[in-house]
Structure 1
């Protein structure tokens, strides 16, 4: 197969393959162990900082970009704490949801944190118990699994149909 033929074959295969939506969020904490949540202007529930990956963007790069856009700070994400496949629902196709460890913010940085994007109405550092009350139940369960993975040193994987 000549080079142009090979590229045409690969392009045709790429065009026919399924594409997955990818959400990339972070678990970011203050020095008291509280979890940072954001209150999006376009959702009914609070959420973790993060968002959707753009075309050809890695999940970790998407998480770092979204945090910078939403909060105006640069973070370097660590390991994946939780990965969840979410089946098709409503008008949406399936997606992969990543939750990365983004570490602990210094007290002065945490105290000065403000929304940096119109998509975020407010933010708060909350206990895991308070997070469960503010988050949609499926996201609260994802955060609980991410916190357990953080404490245990592993990565949690789940499928939600």
Structure 2
């Protein structure tokens, strides 16, 4: 009776091979099988159980990059989640620094960054936006794009959503946001937008799909209109703008 191979490679599409291995298979064997498959395929992929840390390490050290989570894939009649790892024939060799860094970059943790701007009027009221997609008000700003600096991102957001060109000034506050209501954790960076005349409101051109209204609000009004964690962040950013308080908070708390 022939023993079942510990590592299998099958063609699952045009130029695409899928590799699977037993838990006892050494990494160097899997690595050789990946290299061999790439001689006749443009792509070699593996579907790895998110609970199997050893298999994830094997996939990584075999030169495959983590591409994402495939949810609800049917395997042996059951819907399960699987992490997709893959290596392309065009990927740089592992022994080259850029190739090795690309592997690390594919699985190391990443955090979402949000840029916001603290814009005030002469009475120390804060510019707030009433958003179309949630009930509470918030500072102007938004998610920083991939490969975009937070400073450039928040300036862009004000131009896109309010039609205002206000260069981001000093970084007042870095606020860590814990996981909440379906969101993963994130870093919110609040930049100083300076003090402006209240007539600034007359220059605003709202992006109506996202912004319902815009107004300068006192801190008491902020407490009524904004979520608790947003209020704490604004209070902390205001304190920093006045030269005191902590430059780092967690959900607005020092």
TM-score (norm 2): 0.58
Give, in whole Å, the separation in 1 of the partners of 2:170 and 2:227.
24
Q: 2:138 aligns with which of 35, 40, 47?
A: 47
The offset of 1:114, in angstroms, is 4.0
Partner of 1:156: 247
The offset of 1:128, in angstroms, is 1.1
Give, in whole Å, the separation in 2 of the partners of 1:134 and 1:67.
20
Verify: 1:135 aligned to 2:209, yes or no.
no
The offset of 1:123, in angstroms, is 0.7
TM-score (norm 1): 0.90
Structure 1 vs Structure 2 CA RMSD: 2.1
CA contact (8 A) 1:83 1:156 kept: yes
Verify: 1:126 aligned to 2:217, yes or no.
yes
Bigger relative CO (Cα 8 Å, ≥ 6 apart): 1
Alignment: residue pair count: 160
Q: Structure 1 regions of 5+ residues with no counterpart? A: none
Partner of 2:165: 74
Larger radius of gyration: 2
CA contact (8 A) 1:86 1:94 kept: yes
Post-superposition, which runs of at least 4 consecutive aligned residues in structure 1 deviate over 3 A?
Answer: none
Q: Structure 2 regions of 5+ residues with no counterpart? A: 1-92
Give, in whole Å, the separation in 1 of the partners of 2:221 and 2:178.
27
The offset of 1:113, in angstroms, is 2.7
Give, in whole Å, the separation in 2 of the partners of 1:134 and 1:99.
19
DSSP 3-state at the match of 1:111 = helix
The 5 Å alignment of 1:12-161 reads: 12-152=103-243, 156-160=247-251
Structure number with the higher strand fraction is 2
DSSP 3-state at the match of 1:152 = coil
Give, in whole Å, the separation in 2 of the partners of 1:36 and 1:72.
14
DSSP 3-state at the match of 1:144 = helix
CA contact (8 A) 1:114 1:122 kept: no
